[in-house]
Amino acid sequence: MEIKWYLFLSIALFCIGMIGALTRRNSIIVFMCIELMLNSVNLLLIAFSKMHMATVNAFGTSMATSAQIFVFFIMIVAAAEVTVGLAIIVMMYRNTHSIDINFLNRLKN
């Protein structure tokens, strides 16, 4: 496959996630759209790692190894982010009995 189809797929997934994050008011769905955007970027990183597979990095191994480990660390950070974010959403639901994202403007008081 050519790289451009992966580029266009990642752009489409990212923009779908962005439309969801902008149009929905349920904060859990907004959070899921952010996960979708993260995954589209991961997919693009893997595609670029295949493109630069013949290049050698500073450690003497292929560039694709570094790229795949980079994606692995992105997944680690995303998992840690999800735990804290869901805890914040649960706390917000306990205080306001709603998960409407507009209730978050009460933080300013």
Partner 1 sequence: MGITQILFWFLTILALVAAIGVISSKNPIYSVLWLIVVFFAISGHYILMNAQFLAIVNIIVYAGAIMVLFLFVIMLMNLNAEAEPVKNVYMKMAGIISGLTLMIVLVAALSHSDVQNTIIRPGTSIGLIKNLGKALFNQYVVPFEISSVLFLSAMIGAIMLGKKDPVKKISL
* CA neighbor of 104 nearest in space, from 7, 35, 96: 96
Interaction of residue 20 with partner 1, rule CB under 8 A = yes
Burial group, residue 87, by CB count within 10 angstroms (0-12, 13-18, 19+): exposed
Burial tier of 89 (Cβ tally within 10 Å: 0-12, 13-18, 19+): middle
Q: Which of residues 70-109 bind partner 1 (CB under 8 A)?
A: 71-73, 75-84, 86-91, 93, 99-100, 102
Q: Tell me if 41 contacts partner 1 by CB under 8 A.
A: no
Which CB atom, from 87 or from 104, has the smaller least distance to partner 1?
Answer: 87
Spatial separation of the C-alpha atoms in residues 57 and 76, rounded to whole Å: 23
Residue 50 identity: K
Q: Which is nearer to partner 1, 102 or 109 (CB)?
A: 102
Q: Does 34 bind partner 1 (CB under 8 A)?
A: no
Residues near partner 1 (CB under 8 A):
1-9, 11-13, 15-20, 22-26, 28-29, 31-33, 35-36, 39, 42-43, 46-47, 49-51, 53, 59, 61-62, 64-66, 68-69, 71-73, 75-84, 86-91, 93, 99-100, 102
